[in-house]
Chain A
Amino acid sequence: MTIRRRDFLKAAVGTPALLSFGSFVPPVLLRAAASAASHSDRPTALVVLQLSGGNDGLNTVVPFSDDQYGRNRRTLRLTASEVLKIDDHLGFHPAMEGMARLLAEGRLSVIQGVGYEANDRDHEVAMRDWHTARPGDTGCETGWLGRAIDSVEGPARIGAPGVFVGPIPKPVGMTAQRSVVPHVRSLDDMTLAGPVAAGEAVGDLPASDNPLLEHVCRGAVAARLGSRQVQDVLQASATGGRYPDFPLAGQLKLIAELIRADLGIRIFFAELGGGGIGGFDNHANQRDNHASLLAQLSAAVTALIDDLVQAGLADRVALMTFSEFGRTLAENGRRGTDHGAAAPVLLAGGRLRGGLIGKHPDLTDLDADSPRPHTDFRRVYATLLDQWLGFDSRKILGRQFEPLNVVG
């Protein structure tokens, strides 16, 4: 039997007739065609947000009541009256009002004391370690997210399992061995131009003796349907969330639009801080620069989560921040801090346990003037891979890491 492709596409763009095509059509498309009303059966998505330069965890989640903290930070110290209190000992940096609210709403978790033993505090080496999740393995060429993308099999591969956004080169973390990991700059990259956009396709569905032709046709259905869904999201954008006017917020808005378009993308990557001026690497005059970055981080993430809550999608999305290392406890004499070790990882989104996870590192037990990590970062990765995305962390990370109790 041959089916007119024209009829097929008519069906493919949104009627239950699509169901009759059975195994030819990827489930993500079937779901989209069957019902746009239900969000609960959507696959979960993970947004990974890199804070470049080594974020000062001690001035992000501040141990304001700790004498050690106050004594060592003569100019950068944030006091009990300045911080946004989480409890009697810890508080957020005052620029993080949005995130403080998310925490109160149960939509933010702070995983404390994250890092790894062998972090040598060199930007490039440490960042590479966080990306490969194989510290010290110079032979490792792929990233943990790239390997996760490579591990996706079957029809789900047709929707591009992972993408990165923003003006950055392809992150090592997203380097896969066999998958193409798209760079999405704007929704135009997901929107068909030219005659194909009008759905004016002709010809017959192929007789299925050529599996490659069948594969391309599946891709074609995904491309056309995806493009249409993106258009629908754009048209509805008046009802979308309110985002502040700086680059990270724009990138998270794009991610929210891609999530709303239900394209089957499971993993997103974005970055804040860039290289050089304006990053988190504040060896001098840290106070204002760091405050500005944390304000952007907090406002952008809060806008994303609020947008997703409004769209009924917050329970399907988790955002994780990371940085290559934390910073030293003591100021360095130039009103800045130097490369350190442990720092908190922030998780935002729905269906999370929420609140503080693990204890704050002990400031009387330092390693070269920095708080020691007590939670290996790969435990965070493993937990998100296994419990949030439903992937196999052992396959992706090479061994089993003890999960954390963060997913609700």
Chain B
Amino acid sequence: MKPEQAWEPYEPGARRPWDLRLAAHLLRRAGFGADWPAIEQAVADGPAKTVDRLLRPPENLAEFNATFDRYDAAGATGASTESLRAWWLRRMMETPYPLVEKMALFWHGHFALGNHGGISAALMARSVQSLRQGALGSYRALVAGVMSDPALYLSLRSERSRRSQPAPNVARQLLAVFGVGPGNFDENDLSAAARALTGRSVLRNELRFFDHDHDDGAKTLLGQRGNWNADDAVRIVAEHPATAEHVVRKLYGWFISECGEPEPELLEPLANHLREHDDVGRLVEVMLRSNRFFSAAAYRRRIKGPVELAVGLARAMEQTVPTLRLGQQLAELGQDLYRPPTSAGFPGGRDWINGTTLTGRWNLAAEMLAASGAYEGHLNPAALAEKHGRSTPEEAAKLLADVLLDGDLPPPIAQDWRQLSSLPAQWPARLRELAITLTQEPEYQLA
């Protein structure tokens, strides 16, 4: 596939027909996976109309967000982020606009604020809230917002920066993570950016600027010379052409594939789009509509993060589950919301899975689907089958396979469930076990 073709809108055809698999793939990547009604509707509507709907904020969004913002505010006391974490998971499970939460999660991993315990929950709540608000807007605005967020300076242990003592951690983060990326800047750029940032200090959880601490001298940053201050440095880095490529590469891993590094030529049209329009929402739209997105090179070419795994399971079962304990369990699987392990963000791709974490993932899914225990049996496959009018074992098994595995019901299981028709009284009770078995298929770990 040529790069131009790769990002042209996908048109269903004989070679790549629109079906349940691609519909479920789209709903997984643009959100956290979907329930049966959403999949059914997407199959009927086709890709163009489904992407339209995924991108458009629903009418009740403001009301929904206002409710959850109040929960966040109530939960954000002290240093513990346990309560915030639980509310965010709940928000992901219930939101009518999953794309924005999926992007907020992406930016949370990208900017990676909060990586040690000393930062107050209130600051972290505000921080994630601004990522949510700007999730589909201007990337440059996002960078500028994060660069004036006190949580950044606390995360990087750079509460003070003075002319005599610049704070290189923030400068490095700006260049290497938010900006042009490793290999596209040198020690002189680092020192110039750190000097431009001098005078910024955090006092009582507020970012302040002290003129007498600022180094107002001339600096050369990424080839541009001037008496740059912090805003200048942020603008120069955010507008640099390499920044767009760096961000687009990360977005490619998030939306398209974690298999191997994409060629620069493949990314170039996307990078140009971001350089020209600086509009994340429109860029994501290009990606979600594209041939590449619906190709075999993208389908199941990501490993679900722990949050995607658990939220997806709840959404597929059309129920929410208690999230306080879930937040802790997901933290132990490597994704502690509001507390990324380092300023490099969360692990990803293959690093999510080893023998121990997979045991944990399987056991978590089994616990969530259990009839009793910490998750109180809220997820109920038999009730789901009944709700959707599946009255035979074969139909019920098909439904679970459709919502959990894009319809891939392993043949021996299909055979077993055909034979169950002769045991009408018992089969609904066995649907929990079937759902657990399906979550233990390797494909279930893939997004």
A177 interface residue per 8 A CB criterion: yes
Residues of A near B341 (CB, < 8 A) are 141, 170, 175-177
Residues of A near B332 (CB, < 8 A) are 182-183
A-B contacts, CB under 8 A, total: 148
Binary B-proximity of A259-291 (CB < 8 A = 1, otherwise 0): 000011000000000000000000000000000
**CB-CB nearest in chain A for B442:** A216
Residues of A near B354 (CB, < 8 A) are 157-160, 180, 219, 222
Do B347 and A211 touch (CB < 8 A)? no
Binary A-proximity of B277-314 (CB < 8 A = 1, otherwise 0): 00000000000000000000000111100000000000
Report Cα–Cα, A158/B100, bound state, in Å.
33
Contacts A160-B356, A216-B442; is A180 near B362 (CB within 8 Å)? no
Do B353 and A216 touch (CB < 8 A)? yes
Q: Which range holds the interface residue count of chain B? A: 35 or more
Residues of A near B357 (CB, < 8 A) are 160, 180, 182, 219
B355's partner among A179, A211, A223 (CB-CB below 8 A) is A223
A163's partner among B168, B350, B356, B436 (CB-CB below 8 A) is B356
Q: Which of B343-368 contact A (CB under 8 A)?
A: 343-344, 347-360, 362-363, 366-367
Do B347 and A178 touch (CB < 8 A)? yes
Contacts A139-B156, A195-B440, A213-B300; is A219 near B353 (CB within 8 Å)? yes
Contacts A212-B302, A212-B446, A227-B359; is A195 near B437 (CB within 8 Å)? yes
Do B342 and A142 touch (CB < 8 A)? yes
Report Cα–Cα, A42/B18, bound state, in Å.
51
Report Cα–Cα, A215/B357, bound state, in Å.
13
Do B355 and A159 touch (CB < 8 A)? yes
Residues of B near A157 (CB, < 8 A) are 350, 354
A191 interface residue per 8 A CB criterion: yes
Residues of B near A170 (CB, < 8 A) are 341
Q: Which range holds the interface residue count of chain A? A: 35 or more
**CB-CB nearest in chain B for A29:** B355
Residues of A near B360 (CB, < 8 A) are 182, 189
B74 interface residue per 8 A CB criterion: no
Binary A-proximity of B435-447 (CB < 8 A = 1, otherwise 0): 0110011110110
Binary B-proximity of A126-166 (CB < 8 A = 1, otherwise 0): 00000000000011011000000000000001111001000
A206 interface residue per 8 A CB criterion: yes
Do B356 and A175 touch (CB < 8 A)? no
Given contacts A141-B115, A175-B341, 5 further A-B contacts (CB under 8 A): A141-B343, A189-B359, A190-B356, A195-B433, A216-B303
Name A residues whose Cβ lies closer than 8 Å to a Cβ of B: 6, 138-139, 141-142, 157-160, 163, 169-170, 175-180, 182-184, 189-196, 200-203, 206, 210-213, 215-217, 219-223, 225-227, 263-264
